[in-house]
Amino acid sequence: MNSTLEFLSFSDPNVRFVVIGTMILGATAAMVGTFSFLRKRALVGDAIAHSILPGVCLSFLISGEKDPLWLILGAIISGWVSLLMIDGISRTTKLKNDTAIGIVLSVFFGAGILLMTMIQHSGNAAQAGLDKFLFGKAASLTQDDIMVFSGIGIALIVIVLALYKEFKLVSFNPDYAKVIGLPVKFLEFLLATITILAVAVGIQAVGVVLMAALLITPASGARYWTDRLGKMIIIASLFGAVSGFIGSYISYIAPSMPTGPWVVMALSVLAIGSIWFAPKRGVFSKLKLSWQNRDKILTENILKLFYHLGEDEGDFEKPRSFKQLLTSERFKELELTKGLKMLKKNNLLRKKGETWFITRSGFKEASRIVRLHRLWELYLNQRLKLEPDHVHNDAEAIEHIITPEIESLLEKELDRPTIDPHRSKIPYPTE
């Protein structure tokens, strides 16, 4: 555990650079990627990542050094050229957008690899840093890199904050933005530019292949936690930063482990975790909701049974044995046991020896359900002109979901009826 402490103390400046650097990268890529995700442009991030390579190599050849600023400038230019070409191809030919992306991506990447090989064979000593644009090498981040990354990161945040509402509209409904006179071309240009910037920086940590994941994965996970764009951006950026931290930590305690892939691994775990466990939208909470519904239906049906038995015999308070309950309705034994236990816990039923009976609040609840059932049957019968023998099954389901508001609407619309289509009495609370 010593190395963990060492890592967390940040006493080693190199650790500091790597951790801060990857966290900035992760967060900015996630922020920008949220817009790519919402504009359904996931593939474009991939295209940019592949297309900046020739720009980086050319700028290295021209400037002769690996000053991060020069390299990023080259990256921006070739990223832009590739986007213009994709746009041009899909506009002037009949090729689909994804085909155009594929063509541009492979041509640019091929050219990049060619240039990279040339540089490597030229024996230029400084070239060692270039291949991080290919595979990503977070562990080699220096103070200079951090300065550049922070500068770019801040610039991106400022742009997104300043034009937040316009970016929102352009992502949601670009035609409308155009019609009300917003400079949509300019806004789209800016969105593309910040994507290129985020890619040019992020790629140095995770490499070409994983870059698209750094853009898109945080947003896809964050979407599960919120229905608001602002929160979604913040959550995605947190995911990006946390993954950057985890990635650099793992490669610190296990030096043979690469940072970039672990960043993406962490991101994927966060995204998959979100899909499962996020409240409301997550798979798990959807399951939970359906379990809760099942329990509600079960317990309400048991209460209803008590009511029906009491109604038949003219005695609602009479104790019932488990066996009687089991034989008089379609419950399974296990189900009934579970339902009785839940009802007892909520003080709707009470157990005395081996028999069960209904409490005062249980009776109130039971008559509410029976009332809803019969009101609904009557409604179907009177308003939708369904035959009395066709309304029962529908009411069996609907009785469990009718809210008090709908109940009072039903009562009003049917003029507080007392008899249902099967001539049973509709029970109302007595007060």
Partner 1 sequence: MKNIALETHNLTVSYNRRPVLWNVDFELPSGQIIGIIGPNGSGKTTLLKAIMGLVKTSSGYVKIFDQDLDDVRDRVSYVPQRESVDWDFPASVMDVVLMGRYRSSNLFKKISQKDKDIAAEALEKVGMLEYSGRQINQLSGGQQQRVFIARSLAQGADLYIMDEPFVGVDAATEEAILNLFSEMKKEGKTVIVVHHDLQTAKAYFDWIVLLNTRMVAAGPKEEIFNEELLQEAYGGKLNVLSKVGELVREKDFPIREK
Binding site for partner 1 (CB under 8 A): 38, 40, 94, 162-163, 165-166, 168-169, 171-173, 175-183, 223, 226-229, 232
Q: How far is the CB of 271 from partner 1 (least distance, A)?
A: 16
Report the residue number, 22 or 217, with the smaller CB distance to partner 1: 217
Pull the structure tokens for residue 312: 């038949």
Residue 339: in which H helix or E strand, if any? helix 333-345
User: Cβ-count burial of 94 within 10 angstroms (0-12 exposed, 13-18 middle, 19+ buried)?
Assistant: exposed
Tokens describing residue 136: 């990503």
Of 271, 291, 292, 293, give the one whose Cα is nearest residue 282.
271
DSSP letter assigned to residue 428: -
Structure tokens at 410: 């039903």
Q: CB within 8 A of 245, min separation 6: which ones?
A: 19, 22, 23
Strand partners, 320: 356
Min separation Cβ 185 and partner 1, Å: 12
Q: Which CB sits closer to partner 1, 4 or 173?
A: 173
Task: Report the alpha-carbon distance of residue 159 to residue 79 in Å, rounded.
Answer: 19
Which residue(s) pair with 209 in the sheet? none
Q: How far is the CB of 88 from partner 1 (least distance, A)?
A: 16
Distance in Å, CB of 186 to partner 1, minimum: 10
Report the residue number, 39 or 400, with the smaller CB distance to partner 1. 39
Strand-pair partners of 351: 356
| Residue pointed to by tokens 């500091």 | 16
Least distance in Å: CB of 109 to partner 1?
Answer: 31
- Provide, rounded to whole angstroms, the least separation between the CB of residue 179 and partner 1: 5
Determine how β-strand 355-358 pairs with β-strand 320-321.
antiparallel
Q: Give min distance, CB of 173 to partner 1, in A.
A: 5
Residue number, 293 or 346, with CB nearest to partner 1 = 293
Q: In the complex with partner 1, which residue's Cβ is closer, 174 or 417?
A: 174
Q: Which residues contact 15 (CB under 8 A, 6 or more apart)?
A: 6, 7, 248, 252
Residue closer to partner 1 by CB (options 69, 169) is: 169
For the CB of residue 169, give the shortest distance to partner 1 in the complex, in Å: 5
Report whether 201 contacts 31 (CB < 8 A): no
3-state SS, 373-401, equals: HHHHHHHHHHHCCCCHHHCHHHHHHHCCC
Residue with Cβ nearer partner 1 (178 or 364):
178
* Token couple for 335: 């189900």
SS3 352: strand
293 vs 418, beta carbon nearer partner 1: 293
Q: Pick between residue 151 and residue 183 the one whose CB is nearest to partner 1.
A: 183
Q: How far is residue 36's CA from residue 155's CA, in Å, rounded to a whole number?
A: 18
CB 236 within 8 A of CB 222: yes
The residue among 239, 231, 194, 233 whose CA lies nearest residue 214 is: 239
Considering the complex, what minimum distance in angstroms separates the CB of residue 225 from partner 1? Answer: 10
Tell the smallest beta-carbon distance from residue 180 to partner 1 (Å): 6
For partner 1, give the closer residue by CB, 82 or 171: 171
Which residue's structure tokens are 């290295």?
A: 60
Min CB(184)–partner 1 separation in Å: 10
CB closer to partner 1, 171 vs 243: 171
The amino acid occupying position 293 is N
